[in-house]
Structure 1
Amino acid sequence: TSYVGLYPTSTSTSEADAKNNSTDKKDEPDPVAPPLGVFVKFSENSYSVFKQLHENIVQSLESPGYDRLQVEVSGNDDVRRFELLGTFITETSEESEFVFMIPSNYYKSVEEAKNALGESPKFELLSILLGQRDEVIGLTGENLERAYPGQHQQTNKPIINIEFNEDGTRKFAELTTEIAGTNDRIAIFLDQDELISPVVNQPILGGAAFIDGPTFTIDRVNDLALMLESGRLPVPIKLLQERDVDAVLGADSLSKSYYAAGVGLLLVVVFMILYYRIPGLFA
């Protein structure tokens, strides 16, 4: 399972030491990956579709440790809740749009989960969404002091070291304290594209942390660190040359054009008279 973790690092070490040190304990077991929420949307108001859903889809997921199927319906407060074969479902008597979530730590991608779900003739599958509701956390590239690649002291695996400025340290401490140990992730975006979304394992109060992941390679870490650095760097516009273009310049060019045309016409007339004499003058 692809799992990306965010851990604090010591701020008292040098940059070289920070690349090779972390505060996690050597004997501490690796954290269990949080459930991957697979959201499937469909339209149906029949009770039988839920039973068919449970019998044919939930069992086909083969996700050990998760036997609940949570179904939610939006746009109607008049709902009744009931339990069906160990499955929690929300249903309305009116035709509406239903959404159910299958938590699973087995599937690594939406495509993989979608293939497992399959298509049932009992209902129409409209869409599959992955993720949780986004919330702006107030941290921007301006709060990031620097980002650079490093190596985990115990596993020797590549990691990304990040350090925040004073304001970023305060915001990051509040955020990590609030969501530490939950399934919430901190998604990092660059130009509206998600770079990485690590899970916070413990509160990070010192303003320095590192990000690791089982699929991290040296190239991947270098690229991510570079993109984080590029996201924090301002791009100033510097004036290199300034030149005024006056309207007199255009008038001068026009005057020279008239002069050249007059000289050219006079030369033609002189040539015609000298060569053809009287006929040339009339021509």
Structure 2
Amino acid sequence: MLNRYPLWKNIMVILVVAIGLLYSLPNLYGEDPAVQISGTRGQTADTAVFDQVQQVLNENNLPIKSISLQNGSILTRFENTDDQLLAKDKIVEKLGNNYSVALNLAPATPKWLEDIGGSPMKWGLDLRGGVRFLMEVDMNTALSKRQEQLQDNLRTEMRKEKYQYRSIQSSDNFSTVITLAKESQLPDVQRFLRKQHPDLTIEKVSDNSLSLRLSEAALTEARDRAVEQNLSILRRRVEELGVSEPVIQRQGAERIVVELPGVQDTARAKEILGATATLEFRLVNQTANVEAAVKGILPADSEVKLDRHGRPVVLYKRAVLGGEHITNASSGLDQNTGTPQVSVTLDSEGGEIMSQTTKLNLKKPMATLYVEYKDSGKKDENGKTILVKNEEVINVATIQGRFGSQFQITGIDSPAEAQNLSVLLRSGALTAPIQIVEERTVGPSLGAQNVEQGMKAGLWGLGIVIVFMLIYYKLFGLFANIALVANMILLVGLMSLLPGATLTMPGIAGIVLSVGMSVDANVLIFERIKEEIRNKRPIQQAINEGYNGAFTSIFDANLTTILTSIILYAVGTGPVKGFAITLALGVAISMFTAITGTRMLVNLIYGGKRVEKLSI
């Protein structure tokens, strides 16, 4: 029988729309201004800190919606931003620098919705507010580090081949000069080094000296690799630290843009990015006198570093291993002693280095050195910020046996410290320090204004389309409007479910555009039905031909739009991707609502009946 859906298909349409409505509900509850308290550098927020926070709030008569302690972090929700800001200041005064107190926006989704996976859409920086940083990679440090590694390799290679040299020293423009002990060996050394290091330009500068420097192609490659590695590591660091939907992308030759939606204070954002430091594993010089070393009397190959308690430790200058060789790390407890430990996995090169080092240094202590570059507040002659290097020994452990790609770091004070260390190790070490050259805070008020303007545009567009469809297509226009509302519900629900979807201002434009394209399919169907009626086709056959005949045109038009959106998403960045996602989803959903949804409504009213006239 024409124009009749089986029961299962009607139930399917209703069920899909109901599920979309259910998962779009969290967006109605909005977000609460909140203050989040978490530990720094091994600290953890416990019940004692929880009681202190409650005491501060009570003493200052600050009303709260709720306060909870979960996973070593305290989240306090407030009714308004005034109470939120005052509470943050008072809590900072009470807790000091041992805890990170950050402004945040916490979803107000009811627990029953959270239990089934419901959450609101992620908003971009332009809608939610947050912070944006333009960061520059310190290429001089990256190239200097590469130069040091090259010189270490050269010493090893020269000794292995029994070429005698007087010195291997740094020169201008990150070049290295090798001064040989015997002039007669210079041609052989030059041939050997050209074979070993094809990416280097090797030139004779005197009868017994060679100059080695990176070729232009190798220099460009080194710069690109440093930026790309830092970019990848920054992404993992921010994800590990729990910032939702960050935007981290390259800009130009040596710069990186970092956008953190929802982070309201710049200090907290800097703290998140401040974890982007390097880690080094170094052997402890046990033969050196610590007291004499503190006074400056120590071997040329060693230096003094302090641990977190201010105690001096004498370390060899040359690092055994850097954080760039670490591929994975996890925290846990030692099965024998029950003390916290961190299990580390290295890449093949790092595993070989560690294997040889531990084989030669059994029962000797090895230290993990945390190196961080901070803004000194000063600028050089070019206007760039001068970074100050801060170093701290975070633990010293004895090498108990030979190990390679997998080993454990012990001697850690607490499980929280082990967790923090595993995050830092797992996220990798930067190949070069970075500095913030520009910072910008987008306030939530500006984001609210963007949302308001976007909502107005969307509602005006939706209202005009609804009125037009009702006037021009009457009852069939009502069917199209119901399908259009269902399209919006499904789009919001799907955007809320997809983990990588973020709503931006261009994304709202994509939604508004998809409103027009959604009814466009119904216009084609309805006009085809009217044409069939003018051709004297029976009503039921006209409806059937209208839907079947227009389907090919609708499918082709929507497919090309979806393909264009996919290309936009693939080559675009940030806001362009937001536009592409909402447009593609809106068009794809309209294929379901405008064809299957309206067909179900038409079938319920007109299907299987003797109809003389359509309200179209």
**TM-score where L is the length of structure 1:** 0.36
- Choose 1 or 2 for highest CA Rg: 1
**Bigger fraction of residues in helix:** 2
Larger RCO (alpha carbons 8 Å, 6+ apart): 1
